[in-house]
Amino acid sequence: MTQTAQRTPLVELTGVSKRYGSVRALEGVSLQVHAGEITCVLGDNGAGKSTLIKMVAGLHQHDDGVLRIDGEETHLASPREALDRGIATVYQDLAVVPLMPVWRNFFLGSEPRKGTGPFKRLDVDLMRRTTRQALLRMGIDLRDVDQPIGTLSGGERQCVAIARAVHFGAKVLVLDEPTAALGVKQSGVVLKYVAAARDEGLGVVLITHNPHHAYLVGDRFVLLKRGTMTGSHTRDEITLDELTQQMAGGSDLEELRHELQRT
């Protein structure tokens, strides 16, 4: 057993289930998120990945099983509580204001102010300077933090969101399909900064349907299908080919291959 595995996980789900009326969205899912590690959750559309995100982010509460944060059993009542406990979630659609500059989006909802009384105003110089420093700390060198964030590429916007979570003290970073709408080069850029967040000591949950991206950075892999776990592996327990085969459905894929063969 490694030293990392012996430490208390930052977040741990044990046998967690979630139902919406008579619909079973998740059943008996378990995973661990450790500091300085990336846990990848893989599955196709409808596998239960979004439900899992919403539980960890505090949007929905689990019905069965146990959720622990720093070893303490808990029910997250809201996204605000999850943030207060150090869990930052970056959704695929990114909650940004496209026409506002990068620095304004970086501090959105957490703007520092200076002055007193009726003369109190946004500390723009501090926000510009801090944004530039926080991005450079993660190795992100933008041309200009005054440019509207909507002019950045999808990969650059994802990187800004990752740097923001690191700057504001997140201990756990949950990323919802950060490379789904990106090309090969931009995906590589995002994965580089996902690894940088891991190297900063964060525990990262990477939600993806791409086993190649997951295997490039992942330390742990949880596979979901129709709301249930079909596999849970550490990196030294599985190869990329095996991960891809499990992700693709294994026997289902083989059966399809036979069906599609020319007679």
* Higher pLDDT among residues 162 and 45, named by residue: 162
Please, which pLDDT band fits residue 31 given cuts at 50, 70 and 90? very high
Element (DSSP H or E) covering residue 84: helix 79-84
Cβ atoms of 17 and 51 closer than 8 Å = no
Convert the pLDDT of each residue in 77-89 to its tens digit. Answer: 999 999 999 999 9
pLDDT at 248: 73
Q: Do 61 and 52 touch, CB atoms closer than 8 A?
A: no
Percent of the chain with pLDDT over 90: 54
pLDDT at 94 over 80: no
C-alpha 128/C-alpha 23 separation (Å) is 47
> How far is the C-alpha of 11 from the C-alpha of 170, rounded, in Å?
13
Contact indicator for 219, 38 with CB cutoff of 8 Å = yes
CB-based burial, 193-228: b 16+ in 10 Å, e otherwise: bbebbbebebbbbbbbbbbebbbbbbbbbbbbbebb
Domain 3-98+168-260: CATH superfamily, name plus number: P-loop containing nucleotide triphosphate hydrolases (3.40.50.300)
pLDDT on residue 4: 45
pLDDT, tens digit, for every residue of 167-181?
999 999 999 998 887
Q: With the C-alpha atoms ordered 171, 68, 79, 53, is the resulting torsion angle positive or negative?
A: positive
pLDDT at residue number 133:
92
Q: How is the chain split among helix, strand and coil, in percent rounded to 5?
A: 40, 25, 35
Confidence of residue 254 (pLDDT cuts 50, 70, 90): low
**pTM, to two decimals:** 0.86
DSSP 8-state symbol, 62: -
| pLDDT tens column, 169-218 | 999 999 999 888 788 888 898 999 999 999 999 999 999 989 999 999 99
The burial class, CB within 10 Å (0-12 / 13-18 / 19+), for 76 is: buried
Q: How far is CA 57 from CA 16, 42, 49, 105, in A?
A: 14, 18, 12, 20
Per-residue model confidence (pLDDT) at position 262:
63
At 250, is the pLDDT very low, low, confident or very high (cuts 50, 70, 90)?
low
For 40-64, write each residue's pLDDT tens digit: 999 888 888 989 999 999 999 999 9
Q: Break the chain into its structural domains and give their ranges.
A: 3-98+168-260
